[in-house]
Amino acid sequence: MSSNELHQTAKQLVAEGKGILAADESTGTIKKRFDSIDLESTEDRRRAYREMLFTTAGAEEYISGVILFDETIRQSTSDGTPFPKLLADKGIIPGIKVDSGAKPLALAKGETITEGLDGLRDRLREYHELGARFAKWRATYSITDQLPSEYCIWTNAHALARYAALCQEAGLVPIVEPEVLQDGTHTIERSHHVTALVLDAVYRELFDQRVDVYGTLLKPNMVLSGYDASDRAGHDEIAEWTLRCLYKHVPSAVPGIVFLSGGQSDEDATANLNAMNARGPHPWQLSFSYGRALQAPAIKAWGGKDENVEAGQRAYYHRAKMNAAARTGSYAPEMEREAVAA
Ligand code: 13P
């Protein structure tokens, strides 16, 4: 892929009114999601669940790309259509999670480094052959009074940039995901401070390692009060702190910012994105790449039962539609009732 094609793919992923479905849960993470509906996680049930999401009629109106896991990119629908082909035929770009997870960072208690660089060049070549046109790598940082350390911030930034450069070499758009975890009792000001330090390090490394940021997307956390903080900021405050951070620390050459949902409820994730877009226009597209916030109601409605596939699809379609509305700042909580009416 030429650098122009990378730019094109990045732009298509943040096309107006559309966002990304993160369906790249590792085997361990999807097991936790299935545990919540008392469903044993087998390879075929994981396949059936993803088939339900990917065959949802009309989802392509609101979904530009789907991030897959290694197992999923090799799976097919029950009638034998490989998932990447099914998605591409609908105009949805297949993507792939390529990190192998956040592991304890040596000599840094309570901190992690994301692994997966060994052999990455060969794996990217294979994923491209399987149809992937973009990739994802997630680094995580915890907030305490002392953390994250500079050591954790810079080692993860270095790894994110090495991943991004390899992706561009292989013709895949890298989604760069530095996630400052919002667990704890911290204030929104502290979340802003830490997110700013992390973003500065990430862009410094991306530039040093010659990554063309026009052919990347950023997938950050929103700037929130800690989930256990006593006095938590509301949608307007979240929008203001998050925008302040992004305006100062993300180059305008980046075509799009696609938020993760983290531990926010599905409706909060939509309302916060909406509040930011209502304050637009912005230098970058502000969109979503949600996992939990797009899937939570769908997995619940499905419950692992074939007879509930349509209900699961309705729930997923509805969340995709709500988040698409949040892309233009036109979402209103009253629209949630449509799901019941459908
Ligand atoms: P959540 O939206 O559930 O945070 O997932 C997004 C994701 O891809 C995390 O890596």
What is the chain's pLDDT, residue by residue, as a tens digit (342 residues)? 567 999 999 999 999 999 999 999 999 999 999 999 999 999 999 999 999 999 999 999 999 999 999 999 999 999 999 999 999 999 999 999 999 999 999 999 999 999 999 999 999 999 999 999 999 999 999 999 999 999 999 999 999 999 999 999 999 999 999 999 999 999 999 999 999 999 999 999 999 999 999 999 999 999 999 999 999 999 999 999 999 999 999 999 999 999 999 999 999 999 999 999 999 999 999 999 999 999 999 999 999 999 999 999 999 999 999 999 999 999 999 999 876 555
For ligand 1, pick from 260, 273, 299, 316 the residue to mutate: most ligand atoms within 8 Å of CB.
Answer: 260
Give me the phi and psi of 224, to 5 degrees please.
-125, 160
Residues identified as active-site? 177, 219
Residue 58 Cα to ligand 1 midpoint, Å, equals 23
For ligand 1, pick from 289, 294, 295, 316 the residue to mutate: most ligand atoms within 8 Å of CB.
Answer: 289
How far is the first Cα of the chain from the last one, in angstroms, to the nearest whole number? 42
Residue 51 Cα to ligand 1 midpoint, Å, equals 19
Residue 341 is predicted with a pLDDT of 53
Residue 272 is predicted with a pLDDT of 98
Residue 1 is predicted with a pLDDT of 57
Residue 340 is predicted with a pLDDT of 52
Residue 81 Cα to ligand 1 midpoint, Å, equals 26
Task: Please choose, from the candidates 21, 10, 6, 9, the residue with its C-alpha nearest in 3D space to the C-alpha of residue 62.
Answer: 21
Q: Are strands 102-104 and 112-114 parallel, antiparallel or unpaired?
A: antiparallel
- The amino acid present at 41, given as its one-letter code, is S
Residue 136 Cα to ligand 1 midpoint, Å, equals 10
Residues with CB under 6 A from ligand 1: 22, 138, 177, 260-262, 290-293
